[in-house]
Amino acid sequence: MILVTGGAGFIGSNLVNHLSKSKKTQIVSVDWKNKENSDYFNCDSILKVSPKNLHNFLKKNHKSIELIIHLGAITSTVEKNVRLIVENNINLSIFLWDWCVKKKRFIYASSAATYGNGENDFIDNDSSNYLSELLPLNVYGWSKHIVDKFVANKTKMNITPAQCVGLKFFNVYGPNENHKGEMRSIALKIYQKIKKKSEVRLFKSHNPDYKDGEQLRDFIYVKDVVDIICWFAENAKIDGLFNVGSGQPRSFKDLAKAVFKNCNAEQKIKYVNTPNNIRKQYQYFTKANIQKLRNAGFKKKFLSLEEGVTDYIRNHLNNE
C-alpha cells in the first residue's frame, strides 16, 4: 500500500492517477474534498481518506503501508498564519517521518523556496553546514527548510526511515492546479487571461541585470515531476535530498510566448510594477542543479518548456 498525502492536490492527483495505472498495490489519497478537485481522479480504485482520519488509518493499516509520499502542505508563499504552517508543514511532516522510522519508506516534498534569493546557489546538498547557510524569504520556505534540517540531523545520527527522500520542487506547472487560486502557475494564469480576452500582465524588472519579462525560472512540467517521484518509489535504496527541476531556466516572456502560440492568439503583454509587499523577496533567477539526481541514476530527458505548455493546453486545458 502506498499512501499519498495531498493526494487530491496538484502534484498529488497527477501522481495518484499515474500510480493507480499499475494496479500492483492499493493507492491511498489523504486529502480534503472540495468542488475544485472533485474531478481530478481518473480511477475508481483509489482509496480516499480524510486528513482528520489519518491517525486512525495509519494505526489500522500499519502492516500494509509500505511507503508514504508526503505532499500535503500549506503551499502559499504569502501565507501569514504561522500556527497553520507549523501545524501542517512542520509538525505533520515530522510525525509522518517518525511513523516511518526504521521500517517504512518516506518521500516528502521540500521546495526550492528553501534556497532564498539563491546567493548560496541551488545545490541539493543535505549537509548541516550547507543547510545552515540558506535563508528562505518567506514563512513557507522556512517551514520546508526546518524539516530538511531536521531530517539531515537525524540522518547524521543514523536515525532514519527505511528510505528517506526529500524533493525540492522548483516551478511546477500542469493539469489539476485549478484549485490553487493565486498560487496556480503563471502558465495557467496567462491561458485564462487569453481565453477571457483580458490583458496579460507580467512584472516589470526592478533589477538592472534583467529586462522586463526576462526574469528567469526553472519551470518543470508536472508529468516529469511524477516520473521523478515514481523513480524514487521504484528505487528503495536511494536516499537524500534532491532538486526537482529541469535544470534549464527560462524567462516569463518565453512562457507567455508559448501560451499565446498554443492559444492561436496575438502576443500582447503589459508590464506592471512588482507589488511592494513582495518586491524585496522577489527572485530573479532560479536554476535547479540536477547533477545529483543524474548521478543517482535518473536518466529520463525532461520536456522542454514549449513541449510541456503544448501538452498542457492542447491535451488538458482545451478539453476542460
What are the catalytic residues? 140, 180
Length of the chain: 320
CA dihedral 33, 36, 38, 42 (to 10 degrees): -130
Q: By CB neighbour count within 10 A (0-12 exposed, 13-18 middle, 19+ buried), where does 229 fall?
A: buried
Q: Give the separation between CA 57 and CA 63, rounded to whole angstroms.
A: 11
Contact in structure between 244 and 289 (CB atoms under 8 Å): no
